[in-house]
Structure 1
Amino acid sequence: MALLLDLPNELLFQITIYLTHHDIFHFLRANRRLARLLQTAQFDHLRRFRSVDHGRRALFHAAAREDTATVAELVRIGAHKFPGSRIHFLNSAIQNWCSAKTISIFLRCGIEADGTDTRGRTPLTIAARKGRADVVEVLLKVEGVRVNAQCHNGKTPFMLAALAGRTDVVRLLLEDERVDVGLRDTMPNSCTVLWKAVEIGHRKVIKLLLDDGRSDPNFLSNGQTPLHCAIQRGHPEVVLLLL
């Protein structure tokens, strides 16, 4: 490495022409001086080859270093949405448990908060279903974010959080006046979130919904109220909540 660092900058740049992105990436991590010198080479390589994996890896590592200038430049050249990407970048970041701080950096650097994947899921949808309350809180602060966005089966972030028993996320979403708790999905025999939560037996979620007061405890699905459903499903604690 010492011999490499002794080379003139011009020669180092020339060498990068013959390197793969993988090699450039490891050079960038090996030494701060190389990182500063070869960053332009990394950008050029990404522009030429437009590799989904390399683009995302570069973004993740730059954000982990809190290098917002590099993240912004990578976003500018489209590293987060190179052709062949089937999953929205932020969805992937949330699924891979990137921290809320990292997600905030991506948002500040221009990655859209409402992009969808092939199933119509937004980052808020993924974060809610995964129980990522910290990320949900970040996304709710984004101006204009679609809090009631419905994916291909009609489910919203609120529905998915409730059905997964994510009480922290449900509580956060109930505190946001933009959230429509009465929306129903587009599946056959569609019913309310409260009814589905009763069917599953998520007692803590049910209590949150009842305390909120906007969910109809008498909604009929196939001729049954949530109370009938709780009795039939054998959820005695839920029955007591509904009485």
Structure 2
Amino acid sequence: MRALAAVPVSLALAVALLAGGAIGAPVVPSAPAAEAPELHVAARNDHASTVMSLLLKGVDPNVRDAQRNTALHVAIREESGKAFEALLKSPGTDVKAINQAGETPLMLAAIKGRLDWVQALVAHGALINEPGWSALHYAAAGPNEQVVRWLVQQGAELDARSPNGTTPLMMAAGYGGLSGAEILIEAGADVTLLNDQRLSAADFARRAGQDDMADKLDRLAKARAKASGAGRTAP
């Protein structure tokens, strides 16, 4: 898989792990458990009882590690389901916390393809639409099109722009499953948009070797441009 646009390092790593390849970002190993807050170690190891014990002792559920991850970020990243549930039970857990890479727990759950976690986080107040990279960008780069569909149904911004202008459709076409791209197209995502590198969703698909999807996106973009031009010239 080739690099198509600048993405947050952890998003790049997650995409690479899900796809079984690399997209240009070096793999940075997690900090040793001894250097992490005790709550993070428990979350990483999915020790829900330890998580609950620490919280009952007054440990801050939102304590940060060196990358500004909370224990909730860690639980999702490591797919520690019991720890995730334990942390959500704490009223003090900040489901909107943002780590050093600009990621919320919802974004990480979205790229993991965990619809149940995505729904639970939103039910606890996580924001679907964030400025810059959004949960829909992450879902589009992930393995589960149902997460894409659900976020769209909940009002996720279809054409959300990352800091470099990349849209969820571009991410789906270049990194995610094509069924996610189809959902976004059906929902009305703008196929004509370009990011700051002047790349379209069709370019993302073509560079990823998805020629059929690239051709479809090109046809849709041309049809939209033609229709738009006819509308401007009509009397």
After superposition, where does 1:72-111 map in structure 2 within 5 Å?
72-74=55-57, 76-78=58-60, 81=63, 86-99=68-81, 102-109=83-90, 110-111=92-93
Question: 1:182: which partner in 2?
Answer: 159
Question: 2:129: which partner in 1?
Answer: 148
CA distance change for structure 1 residues 83 and 67 in 2, over 3 Å: closer, same or farther? closer
CA distance change for structure 1 residues 88 and 231 in 2, over 3 Å: closer, same or farther? closer
State TM-score, norm by structure 2. 0.61
For residue 111 of structure 1, give the secondary structure of its aligned residue in structure 2. coil
Quick one: which amino acid aligns to residue 161 of structure 2?
R
CA distance change for structure 1 residues 119 and 229 in 2, over 3 Å: closer, same or farther? closer
Structure 1: unaligned runs, 5 residues or longer:
1-50
After superposition, where does 1:1-243 map in structure 2 within 5 Å?
52-57=36-41, 64-65=48-49, 70=53, 72-74=55-57, 76-78=58-60, 81=63, 86-99=68-81, 102-109=83-90, 110-143=92-125, 145-150=126-131, 154-177=132-155, 179-187=156-164, 190-200=165-175, 202-213=177-188, 215-220=189-194, 226=201, 235-238=210-213, 239-240=215-216
Structure 2: unaligned runs, 5 residues or longer:
1-34, 221-235
Structure with higher Rg: it is 1
CA contact (8 A) 1:195 1:219 kept: no
The number of residues matched between the two structures is 182
CA distance change for structure 1 residues 229 and 131 in 2, over 3 Å: closer, same or farther? closer
C-alpha separation in 1, matches of 2:46 and 2:171? 42
CA distance change for structure 1 residues 83 and 129 in 2, over 3 Å: closer, same or farther? closer
C-alpha separation in 2, matches of 1:223 and 1:82? 37
C-alpha separation in 2, matches of 1:108 and 1:63? 14
C-alpha separation in 1, matches of 2:138 and 2:65? 29
More helix as a share of residues: 1
TM-superposed deviation, 1:208: 0.8
Identity %: 23
CA distance change for structure 1 residues 182 and 229 in 2, over 3 Å: closer, same or farther? closer
> Higher relative contact order by CA 8 Å / sep ≥ 6: 1 or 2?
2
State TM-score, norm by structure 1. 0.60
